[in-house]
């Protein structure tokens, strides 16, 4: 009879291993003598300090309000996790959204797991717990991976084992942090997907990356569309072969006009014209202020 292998924990050897270890989960009374460390206790919110290692900087107000409304009706389903700092004093390890929403809901106390953890363990717990959230954007995940590597001295292999992810997946998230800030913001704000970003990162020129980013946003290009564009950029011979006839035959006077307009407006101008003389002029701008500046030039 073949013995069945135990099911692998979704968290790997990360958060669960730390929380269940003898060093971080004990059964003796804490300093105040009121709560058992490792158990669930009701703690006054004002006695819980924020986690200085919290990887997330932004929380969507609408989502917080929805969680606040849920807490008012149903209470807190999942306790937060805190560590003991001293007499009647605690610091949040994980559960930042629940703590914030509870404050918004006007709660005085909140259920919490009490743990013992040093700063290194606390950072690792917060980062790993954060990575497994479903509402994180790709940049937040990449930053968490990067911090685990740099501040917890973990290799990609170590992280893959601790959080149950493939090495390639972790590497792809970390690579996003090498993209220009404009693209990282677009990923954070979910203007483009992880698939778009993975295609853009293979383009060497930052100017071309930003040009493609604008095209993705303005023209609502799919991942397959942008992959095709990137392939043409990275293979010049193929790009020349596929270049539209109207671009190849753009008369010189149109090229000169495009250059003059670009100098006058201080921004990118694109002129398209087909063989029958029909076309369009596109003026690019990056902000409302730049739009107003350009508009004033034509008034």
Residue listed under structure tokens 């043409």: 232
- What's the angle, vertex CA 255, arms to CA 253 and CA 260, rounded to 5? 95
**How many of the other CB atoms lie within 10 Å of CB of 226?**
24
Contacts 24+ apart (CB under 8 A), 191-196: 191/216, 191/217, 192/216, 192/217, 193/223, 194/138, 195/223, 196/221, 196/223, 196/226
The alpha carbon of 23 is separated from its chain's Cα centroid by a whole number of angstroms, namely: 32
Has 60 been annotated as catalytic?
Answer: no
Annotated catalytic residue: which of 23, 46, 96, 129?
96
Neighbours of 256 (CB within 10 A): 10
CA atoms of 168 and 141, how far apart (whole Å)? 14
Note the Cα 1 to chain centre separation in Å.
47
Q: Known catalytic residues?
A: 96
């Amino acid at each position: 009879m073949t013995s069945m292998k135990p099911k692998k924990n979704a968290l790997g050897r990360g958060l669960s291993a730390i929380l269940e270890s003898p060093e971080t989960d004990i059964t003796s009374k804490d300093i105040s003598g009121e709560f058992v460390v490792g158990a669930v206790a009701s703690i006054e919110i004002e006695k819980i300090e924020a986690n200085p290692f919290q990887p997330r900087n932004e929380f969507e107000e609408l989502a917080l309000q929805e969680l606040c409304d849920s807490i008012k009706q149903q209470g807190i389903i999942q306790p937060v996790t805190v560590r003991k700092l001293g007499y009647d004093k605690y610091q949040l390890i994980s559960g930042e959204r629940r703590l914030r929403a509870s404050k918004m809901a006007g709660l005085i106390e909140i259920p919490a797991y009490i743990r013992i953890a040093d700063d290194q363990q606390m950072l690792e717990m917060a980062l790993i717990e954060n990575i497994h959230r479903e509402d994180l954007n790709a940049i937040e995940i990449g930053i968490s991976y990067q911090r685990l590597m740099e501040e917890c001295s973990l290799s990609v292999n170590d992280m893959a084992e601790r959080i149950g992810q493939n090495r390639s997946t972790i590497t792809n998230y970390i690579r996003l942090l090498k993209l220009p800030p404009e693209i990282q913001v677009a990923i954070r704000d979910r203007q483009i997907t992880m698939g778009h970003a993975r295609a853009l990162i293979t383009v060497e020129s930052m100017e071309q990356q930003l040009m493609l980013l604008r095209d993705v946003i303005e023209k609502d290009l799919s991942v397959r569309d942008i992959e095709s564009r990137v392939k043409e950029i990275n293979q010049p011979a193929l790009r020349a072969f596929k270049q539209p006839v109207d671009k190849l035959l753009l008369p010189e006077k149109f090229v000169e006009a495009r250059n003059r307009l670009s100098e006058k407006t201080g921004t990118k101008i694109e002129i398209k014209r087909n063989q029958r003389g029909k076309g369009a002029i596109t003026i690019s701008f990056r902000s409302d202020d730049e739009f107003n500046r350009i508009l004033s030039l034509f008034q």
